[in-house]
């Protein structure tokens, strides 16, 4: 069951990073959500359990390290939220009597 889909993540302009769980590696790569939608479809879930099976760390594979599960970091679009807030704040809040 998915609460959130890839297209929701794209619309929210969230940055999603896939992180290698191997302590010798800890590689982190930003996911291209638009490219994932092309591959998986817009209704594919974007929660951890929807994505975890899809990724293998290429560096660990190349180095023949144990395969460790990846984990994800979801970073909200702070800059967009700040801009929206400052647009609201700049609106006049009083009228002349």
Q: Does residue 18 interact with Zn ion by CB under 5 A?
A: no
Cα separation of 16 and 47, whole Å?
10
Q: What is the largest CA-CA distance in the chain?
A: 75
**CA-CA-CA-CA dihedral for 7, 8, 11, 12, to nearest 10:** -150
Size of the site for Zn ion (CB under 5 A): 7
Residue of 7, 25, 47, 52 that binds Zn ion (CB under 5 A) = 25
Q: How many CB atoms lie within 10 A of CB 31?
A: 21
Q: Is 14 in the site for Zn ion (CB under 5 A)?
A: no
Task: Give 14 or 59: the residue with its C-beta nearer to Zn ion.
Answer: 59
State the nearest-atom distance from the C-beta of 38 to Zn ion, in Å.
25
Work out how close the CB of 94 gets to Zn ion at its nearest, in angstroms, rounded to a whole number.
56
């Amino acid at each position: 069951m998915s609460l959130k889909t890839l297209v929701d993540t794209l619309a929210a302009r969230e940055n999603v990073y896939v992180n290698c769980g191997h302590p010798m590696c800890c590689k982190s790569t930003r996911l291209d959500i638009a490219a994932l939608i092309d591959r998986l479809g817009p209704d594919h879930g974007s929660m951890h359990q929807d994505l975890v099976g899809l990724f293998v760390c290429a560096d660990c594979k190349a180095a023949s390290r144990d395969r460790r599960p990846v984990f994800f970091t979801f970073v909200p679009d702070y800059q967009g939220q700040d801009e929206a807030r400052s647009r609201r704040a700049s609106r006049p809040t009083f009228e002349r009597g």
